[in-house]
Every structure is written in structure tokens, then in C-alpha cells.
Amino acid sequence: MIEYELDAEDLADTRFAISPIQELVCGLWALRDPGRYPLHRPWREAALSALDPDDLRLLLSLVGKDRGLPDFLTPRPATYAPSFPEQLSAVRRTPAHLVERDIVATHAPGPVPAVLRTATLPELADLLQRYWERAMAADWPRMRVVMEADTTYRARRLALGGARLLFADIHPNVSWADGVLHITKMIGRHRVSAAGRGLLLLPSIFAYKAIPPMSPHEPPWLTYPARGLASLWSPASPPGPEVLAALLGPAKARLLGLLAEPRPTIDLAARLQVTPGAVSQHLKLLHAAGLLTRTRDGRHVLYHRSELGTRLVEGG
């Protein structure tokens, strides 16, 4: 069990943050142990196909036998939402003795994997950069939305019921009593006084449980599973006709639905049973919005859904 002693000042300094480099590093759990992460299968398959085999081998060597990760790879965010380059720069500045300490602690009591023993800090930082670009950067905006929604929910819990309500449903392994935050089922066994440093809470897409830093020397922070993961990788459902009608108006929505094939104004007017002049006004607006294209065929102008219009109709 790991315990954090938090006095009134520490609770007043409790804050949230979203860490891109933490998600990058925690994603190694999903790459190594797919059975634990069925919801993340789409991301895992895409990442494995994008990563170089040698890079993947070295990345997975960073994960300990008990799923521990070196603390230096996840620097404590100084702001609510630091950028990945900012955090990677902090990793590059890690003193050599801390890199060695954290890698050894991650794999203790066993030996450090051979492929990791010869890797330098600049090489590991460059490795994280490639991993980010190939496996995480494109998905980061949607991941961040999920975590931002979680912090909004947690902040409201804290405002309504204080620490007791905040920690009540953060994870079954976490409990709050008598000024102490208890995190059970941990590899480490230590009790740390926050001593005015506050508590940092980090929602995570890939965290499978509540996870504090391995080292008792790190300031108090806690990574926990974010809410709302079930639909993270699910494709968006196409909007129903009523949604499109509410967005564009019933007449324009029907026109857009009819224009999967090129049609002239007079044909559209007959199908909608309105005047050609009324149809022309709607077509003009849809064309100006980039939802239609138009070409001339003899005496007639043919209107056709643009790629953007088709994506809107089909929910792409």
C-alpha cells in the first residue's frame, strides 16, 4: 500500500493535469498486454503496424515484469495541459543517476533487459519522439477530449463534496480517511507526507488502475482511469435525417439527400413539389457552403453533392 498524508493546504493545492507523454508511455501496457485492453484494440493494431520492430522491442523493454514504468519517462506536468515537446524536453534533461535509478527499480529484483542496458537517454528520447509521431499524435485530440471531460466531472465532485466525494469513485483501490489517501494493491510500500506540495491528479486513457509514482521521493501524484472510454475508438454513427434537417432545415436536407446523383433544378423542384425559384435559392446557399458542385449540361445546370456534402450526409 502507498499512502499520502494530505493536510488542508495540500487539499487546497490539489489540481488536475493532462499529460501527453504519460499516455504515450502508458500505451506500452496496451501494446504488451492486449488481453487487459480490449477497448483499445483498434489503437493497438494501428500502432503495431506503424512501429518499427526494433523500436517496438526497445519500447517494450521499458515495462517491468510487474508492469512498472520508469518514473523519469513521465515528468510531473507543471501546467494543466503541457505539450508533448515540452514534456519530452523535460525527459531529455533527466540527470543520468535518476535514469539509472528508475530503470533498475522498474526491473528489480531482476536484471535490466540487455537491449535497454546499452540505450542512452538521447536514444530513448528519440525513440519516444518516433513512437509519438507514428502511434499517438493523430489520436491525441480525441483522447484529450475524454480526459478533459473527466477533469470537469472530478472538479465538480470536489466542489460539491470535498475530498471524500472526489475520491469516492476514482478507483476501487483508492480510499480517503482521516487526512490520508490510501492506494492499495501496489508494488511499493511507503507513506509520504505531501508537506505542502499538494496532490496532482492525472486522468488516463491507458491506466488500468490507480497508479502513483514508484519512487517515494517523487512529489505526490496519482494517475487513474478516465471515465468515458467505451466509445473512444468507436466510429461515429451517421446522423439521422432529423439531425440533418435540424442543422440545415428540412428543405435543404432533402435536397442534399437527393443529390447523390447530378440533377437539374427543374427535376429537383418536381420531386419536392415546390417552385424552381425556391429550389434555386436553397441550391445557391448549399453551393456557397461547399456542400454542392455544379456543372452545365446544355441548357441545364446540374447540381451534385460535393465530397464535403456526402461526408455530412453519411457521417464521415
Q: What is the pLDDT of residue 267?
A: 85
* Secondary structure, 3-state, 171-219: CCCEEEECCEEEECCCCCCEEEECCCCCCEEEEECCCCCCECCCCCCCC
* String of DSSP letters for 7-70: -HHHHHT-EE---HHHHHHHHHHHHH-GGG-GGGHHHHHHHHHHS-HHHHHHHHTTS-TTS---
**Residue 89 — pLDDT band, cuts 50, 70, 90?**
very high
Domain boundaries in the chain? Answer: 2-225, 241-314
DSSP H/E element including 86: helix 84-92
Would the pLDDT of 238 be above 70? no
pLDDT digits (tens, 9 = 90+) for 169-190: 999 999 999 999 999 988 778 8
Q: Which among 8, 46, 262, 241 is positioned nearest to 134, based on CA atoms? A: 46
pTM of the model: 0.72
CATH entry 3.40.50.2020 includes domain 241-314: no
Q: Which three cell numbers stand for residue 79?
A: 501546467
Q: Which of 85-89, 135-139, 234-238, 267-271 has the lowest mean pLDDT?
A: 234-238
pLDDT digits (tens, 9 = 90+) for 186-232: 877 889 899 889 999 999 999 989 989 888 888 899 999 999 888 78
Q: Residue 110 carries which DSSP code?
A: S
DSSP H/E element including 2: strand 2-5
Distance CA 79, CA 81 (A): 6
Q: Which three cell numbers stand for residue 233?
A: 475508438
Would the pLDDT of 69 be above 90? yes
Q: Which among 174, 166, 176, 179 is positioned nearest to 211, based on CA atoms? A: 174
Q: What is the pLDDT of residue 233?
A: 83
Q: Which three cell numbers stand for residue 273?
A: 413539389
